[in-house]
Structure 1
């Protein structure tokens, strides 16, 4: 029975999609305004390495090395406004101001051997950074069709302004290249804002699919962004605003941040004339 239901739903979906291809949506000179929200994943591009301690020949491998988490382990979120204007049926300009929280994590480990008392001490830490900012991306969009279901690509530039940054360290006493945040000890969340540069800019590009109707549109899209400016304020790198530099021997590397977001938008058309916004059947 479940297989028959799935088959029926598939037939209805393809039937509706096929019928939708017989319709076009007049979008020229039309303004869309709406809301969007979604998730993002970040990955740092390390430009320069920094550490509190200096390595010695007796240290062997570098004990201060940071191991950064992969892209999909660094999750954040964003929400904002969607504004667009269509110059032609397929070409439009999109502005998506948003409030975004991005994160990146790295792991460090330290160990000491007391040769006098014959005792050792080890600690492994997961450093979690979260940066909240106001993003202002401006992109040009190209729709491949004028149908109800319209795939598109878009590209442009963005600027961002840091609002707030914070940091938490999770730690345990076993060096096994893993720190379980659920069971590990943790610090209080500390203010990292002064360690992060106030503004950034970069490029953005993405793709998606939009469903258009007479009265609204729903869009699912994904965008890649890369910031050209370094994230960390070099003047404040060794300033111990968080209190972690001395206690946990922590200092940030210099890095640039890239991100991949997934978001869902709902938009409403604002017509410039009575004739715009009419869903009409394509003439064969």
Structure 2
């Protein structure tokens, strides 16, 4: 019998092609490694044992756990209704080894600018054996365990002890890498189907740090290099995106009544505060046409006293 799945009991209809010219076969008799007798179960260490009622036309092979090869052939005889015994005939079973099944892998929530590890064998399986981590091979490489370098992205490598695949990004590469495929073989050398590995990186936000500038002269514009102590774990800061809270868009000025104006240099990201200038003193005229500054005391016109003189006409002397 051929085309049998490994790790599965196999049934042989041994009487299906046997015949008797003058009767019908009634019972079977098997010979196997010195075990003889009708209806016996000749165990096969490391392989399995045969079970079943031999007079029911079928022999059953139950392989031992982990045995996936073809069992050693056996021979049997069969007697007819008159008790006449046949010649010995053999029973050979041909098992087809089953390949491993590899399942696609997707790893999400990964921090950018950091190596990522995928346990690709964790969801793979083999129906009749065990997976061999040393046989993990990335498509596009010459042999199992070889690295795959993707220009502009990074390097994929295999841990031949665990079967894990690691992606190490190039400096500055923060996007999701192009997915790859891999295969793995089992302990019998059977190779799996190709399965994919996809990585999903989460972009990280910049970190802004409070700024304090001291020792500034009054009544003079002050500049703060606000980006000097800020950082981004997986990229670069964009000066054109600096936005002061309370403004409509990045780069807009913020006017604080009574204080001054905050403005952004969209080339450097620096923020400048320009204090409000004091109003110049105003002048106004007094009724006496003397000029007085409002910020000083007002001058007053001096008061004058007046006197009246009477003239008498000259007296006439007769």
Structure exhibiting the larger radius of gyration computed from Cα positions? 2
Same fold, TM exceeding 0.5? no
Structure richer in strand, relative to its length: 1
TM range (shorter): under 0.3
Greater relative contact order structure (CA < 8 Å, 6+ sep): 1
TM-score, length of structure 2 as denominator length: 0.22
